[in-house]
Amino acid sequence: MGGGRMLVAHLSDPHFRTGPLAGEPAAGLHRALGRILALDPQPDCVVITGDLCEYGHPDAYPEMHTLISRFPLPIHLTTGNHDDRDALLKTFGGTAFLGATTATRYTVDYPEATIVVLDSKRSDSPAGHLGDEQLAWLDDTLDRRDMPAFVCLHHPPLPVGIPFLDGIRLDDGPALATVISRHRNVVRILAGHVHRVICAPFAGSMVAIAPSTYRQSELCMRTDRMIGYLAEPTGYLLHLLTGSDCVTHSAPVSHAGALLGGF
């Protein structure tokens, strides 16, 4: 493994949309990216862990492309349960936003670490699924790399104590744990879906769930009602890799006074 340093900014759940309410989620993502651009030093890349668009509307992806294609740092996109895979691929397939592939699972190798993006969207449920074939691909991908890896997917692979969201988590989390536990180089598993900051150990690594750049979910631990969504501060996570050591910072974006980079 190398001994260098890498910074990965981790955003999630921008929930872009079309129509009269399109402004707030777009402004939320723009503000978060502006804050990241003002970091010194700037991150090596940005990962957005899914729910790029609220309704997976085909017109929402070109709108998002217009915004993020002006951003000067690399951005890697992950598919969430709200996303429409075909619409996402139509706009972003073949671009650097999907690692120059035409797939929603891909890898991007940096000098200090590799970014591995998985697609956990199920077509028949808001819960997530990876499947045997994708897990075998992940196993092989990690086998081939002797460097730290960030594994990115939308759905948390373990329950987080919010029953409504635990009911729609990754449904084959134990199978993912089996693969991750075979590799000692997975420094973080980056997820979204919950719209809250959560960290938990997982299969010898660590799951880090980023907040939404749009709106946060209520910390509702009851089983007898649906969660609500709140105007709690938006934010992002910053994963700082030094050699094979990784530290995660959580930073607010809204409700916070700090520099914004223009793009």
Which residue, 113 or 209, has its beta carbon nearer to Fe ion? 209
What does R_g of the chain's alpha carbons equal in angstroms? 17
* Residue 83 touches Fe ion, criterion: CB under 5 A: no
Q: Of 10-18, 93-101, 203-211, 223-231, which part binds Fe ion (CB under 5 A)?
A: 10-18
Contact 191, 211 (CB under 8 A): no
Which residue, 51 or 119, has its beta carbon nearer to Fe ion? 51
Which residue, 68 or 194, has its beta carbon nearer to Fe ion? 194
* Residue 13 touches Fe ion, criterion: CB under 5 A: yes
Contact 227, 162 (CB under 8 A): yes
* Residue 84 touches Fe ion, criterion: CB under 5 A: no
Alpha-carbon distance of 160 to 167, in angstroms, equals 10
Scan residues 142-181 and list those touching Fe ion (CB under 5 A): none
Q: Of 12-20, 35-43, 102-110, 198-206, which part binds Fe ion (CB under 5 A)?
A: 12-20
Nearest residue relative to Fe ion (C-beta): 51
Which residue, 148 or 235, has its beta carbon nearer to Fe ion? 235
Calculate the dihedral angle through the C-alpha atoms of 242, 244, 247, 253, rounding to the nearest 10 degrees.
Answer: 70
Alpha-carbon distance of 245 to 222, in angstroms, equals 36
Q: Find the shortest distance in angstroms from Cβ 193 to Fe ion.
A: 6
Q: State which H helix or E strand residue 34 sits in.
A: helix 23-37
Which residue, 55 or 137, has its beta carbon nearer to Fe ion? 55
- Geometric angle at alpha carbon 261, from 260 and 263, rounded to 5°: 130
Task: Count the site residues for Fe ion by CB under 5 A.
Answer: 2
Calculate the dihedral angle through the C-alpha atoms of 152, 155, 160, 165, rounding to the nearest 10 degrees.
Answer: 160
Alpha-carbon distance of 41 to 18, in angstroms, equals 34
* Residue 51 touches Fe ion, criterion: CB under 5 A: yes
C-alpha atoms less than 13 angstroms from C-alpha of 196 in its C-beta half-sphere: 16
Q: Of 1-9, 45-53, 84-92, 158-166, which part binds Fe ion (CB under 5 A)?
A: 45-53
* Residue 112 touches Fe ion, criterion: CB under 5 A: no
Q: Find the shortest distance in angstroms from Cβ 35 to Fe ion.
A: 20
Binding residues vs Fe ion (CB under 5 A) = 13, 51
